[in-house]
Homo-oligomer: A and B are copies of this chain.
């Protein structure tokens, strides 16, 4: 399929900065999560609904590479792409851009495992799998 991504945009909060005067590196991990929340909403299945269905996309791995700092009041864009979908796993890629000039500030990835209510690894329901697969920039 052609490229598919979801952008979510917000202001940097003061609480997200640190004593260096810039955004603390852990805040980007929270922003990635906000990126995938918006991704799920936009494809029509908010993650809160996934949990209502009895499943979690638990985080197995996360990584981030920091390129240029964001500061308080910047508008940042989190660009989110689903890059891999398996029956029990998914991988997501993120770019954080400064809205004013499009500069790439950070990028990262997260890997998720599908768990059921008992926190056991589980196949995701077929409809969920199909929906994700349709919105995946997967390489086969």
Contact = CB atoms under 8 A, between A and B. Distances in A.
A25 B108 CA distance: 14
Contacts of A33: 13-15, 26
Interface string A52-92: 00001011111111100101110000000000000000000
Interface stretch (A16-24, A93-101, A123-131, A132-140): A16-24
Interface of A: 10-11, 13-15, 17-22, 24-26, 29-30, 33-34, 37-38, 41, 46-48, 51, 56, 58-66, 69, 71-73, 119
Interface of A, helix, strand, loop or mixed by DSSP? mixed
Pick from A10, A13, A17, A18 the residue with the most CB of B within 10 Å: A18
Contacts of A69: 119
